[in-house]
Amino acid sequence: AQSVTQPDIHITVSEGASLELRCNYSYGATPYLFWYVQSPGQGLQLLLKYFSGDTLVQGIKGFEAEFKRSQSSFNLRKPSVHWSDAAEYFCATSGAGSYQLTFGKGTKLSVIP
Amino acid sequence: SAVISQKPSRDICQRGTSLTIQCQVDSQVTMMFWYRQQPGQSLTLIATANQGSEATYESGFVIDKFPISRPNLTFSTLTVSNMSPEDSSIYLCSVGDRGDTEAFFGQGTRLTVV
């Protein structure tokens, strides 16, 4: 069965600092991997996705993620955080060609001025 | 990409009553799903809505509590029956179709049961 682990429940960073959110997955084959962001009272917005090819994936809002098969990880990074990045971030996985997602528990990001 | 409209966006309901949530997509899609997000929690898949047949429920979810309809390829409903405060959650509709590399989500329905 697929599973996703986000070890950090809550992270606080200063505005302008770099950010890395951790995600580990468990899946037998090559998974499809996603990062979503959910702002308070909002729906889910896709930041980026990986399903094949270059293991460094660029997304929207200046985010990137790197797929590391050897570590079963898909960590999300941003070089300089903005106050508007404060939100809940979810890592998710699905099988190839499946739209049924398994989500991690999420990481809440707080940004301090 | 599909545009998904969910109604209502939020509601406050009395315990013991039922609420039906609608999910309308602007194009025909193969797959439709319903998720639940309890307060402070992640998203959990409730079921896959199958067009023209009974929904496929995940472990821990049953049809009597969460009946689902999908009369065509653009529309589905989820009913939360005999509600209790524990049903207070955000319910999200998600869709995917052949050729897409991602699923798309509606804005969600925020349900509060009092």
Question: What pLDDT, in 10s, does the model give residues B36-48?
Answer: 999 888 899 999 9
Closest B-chain CA to A35: B102
Question: What pLDDT, in 10s, does the model give residues A87-110?
Answer: 999 999 988 778 889 999 999 999
Question: What pLDDT, in 10s, does the model give residues A12-70?
Answer: 999 999 999 999 999 767 789 999 999 887 788 999 999 888 899 999 999 999 999 99
Partners of residue A99 in chain B, C-beta under 8 Å: 31, 33, 94-96, 100, 102-103
Give me A46's structure tokens.
């896709």
Question: What radius of gyration, in Å, describes the C-alpha atoms of chain A?
Answer: 13
The continuous run of DSSP H or E covering B89 comes out as strand B89-96
Q: What are phi and psi of A61, to 5 degrees?
A: 60, 25
Minimum distance, in Å, between the CA of residue A107 and any CA atom of chain B: 10
Q: Does the distance separating the beta carbons of B102 and A105 come in below 8 Å?
A: no
Give me B64's structure tokens.
């009597």
| Whole-number pLDDT of residue A8 | 96
| pLDDT of B56 above 80 | yes
Give me B69's structure tokens.
């309809």
Partners of residue B110 in chain A, C-beta under 8 Å: 41
User: What's the pLDDT band for B67 if we cut at 50, 70, 90?
Assistant: very high
Closest A-chain CA to B49: A100
Partners of residue B103 in chain A, C-beta under 8 Å: 94, 99-101
- CA dist B36 and B45 (Å) reads 6
| Whole-number pLDDT of residue B37 | 94
| Whole-number pLDDT of residue B73 | 94
Largest Cα–Cα separation, chain A: 42
- CA dist B104 and B4 (Å) reads 8
Of A34, A49, A100, the CB nearest to B45: A100
Structural contact between residues B32 and B21, judged by C-beta atoms closer than 8 angstroms: no
Q: What are phi and psi of A73, to 5 degrees?
A: -125, 155
User: What's the pLDDT band for B6 if we cut at 50, 70, 90?
Assistant: very high
Structural contact between residues A99 and A1, judged by C-beta atoms closer than 8 angstroms: no
Question: What pLDDT, in 10s, does the model give residues B78-109?
Answer: 999 999 999 999 999 999 887 787 889 999 99
Of A99, A103, A105, the CB nearest to B31: A99
| Whole-number pLDDT of residue B85 | 97
Q: What are phi and psi of B74, to 5 degrees?
A: -125, 0
